[in-house]
Amino acid sequence: MNWDWDYVGSMMPDLLDGLWTALLATIFGFLLALVLGLVFAILRRSKTAWIRVPIGFIVEFIRGTPLLVQLFFLFFVLPDFGVQLSPLASGIVGLGVHYATYTSEVYRAGIDGVPAGQWEAATALNLPARRTWTSVVLPQAVPRSLPALSNYLIALFKDVPQLVAITVAEPFTVARGIFADSFRPFEAITMAGVLYLVTAFVLSYLGRIVERRYGTVRV
């Protein structure tokens, strides 16, 4: 078994394209998770049990079941209902919804951390619910949640290889295509794995910087 650098060089452009797709899935999936997670967190605090309980159940269910099966569900079931998503779009929705259930817990902790006095003050000032959330609670809760949220960006990136199962052209899908032609899986799989590892380390380093800089609440 010898390592063939020429072969590695010839497949790098394709693998890097794959990495770009993986990063796109990460970024858009994470944005969806950030927004949807906040929605879940707020709905789970609703005064109406008819909203609170079903949303709670859905969130717990999504969090307790594998992302991979959820991706299958999105990719193979939605077309039966006339919704045809591209593989990448299904991947982004799957990752986003799955991670929204995690980020909603982070937001919940952040919201719980807002002192009761702030809620009471908002009531005393007769602020409507919407104003209480947008001007009082969230500006304090969201910065508190940032450090933990950055961890989930990295976790989400590490789940991107699972998109291989729904044929998104990420590095492993690309690698599989390459070694199907060349019958040399060793370099292809190793390089795809190395790309993921290196990117994950870079992301976690960046995450640490973000955490150090913005992790504290300025009042």
Partner 1 sequence: MSGEQVGLLVDGALFTLWLTLGGAAIGLVLAFLAGLARVSSSKVLRAIGFVYVEFFRGAAVLVLAFWFVYAMPMLGWQFEPVFAGMVALGLNIGAYAAEIVRGAIQSVPVNQYEAALAMNFSSWQRMRRVVLPQALVAMIPPFSNNIIELLKASAVVSVVSIPELAFNGQLIWSGNGQAAAVFGGLLVMYGALALIFTIIMRLLERRAARSVGRQPDPGWWTRLRRRSEVPA
Element (H, E) at 204: helix 185-214
Residues sharing a CB contact under 8 Å with residue 119, sequence separation 6 or more, in sequence order: 132, 136, 137
Per CB under 8 A, the list member of 61, 120, 206, 212 interacting with partner 1 is: 61
Per CB under 8 A, the list member of 167, 204, 210, 211 interacting with partner 1 is: 204
What is the Cα–Cα distance from 32 to 96, expressed in whole angstroms?
5
Shortest Å, Cβ 177 to partner 1: 13
Residue 68 in the binding site for partner 1 (CB under 8 A): yes
Per CB under 8 A, the list member of 147, 161, 177, 215 interacting with partner 1 is: 161
In the complex with partner 1, the residue whose CB is nearer, 186 or 214, is 186
Tell me which residues touch partner 1 (CB under 8 A): 1, 61, 64-70, 72-73, 76-77, 79-80, 158-159, 161-162, 164-165, 172, 179, 184-186, 189-190, 192-193, 196-197, 200-201, 204
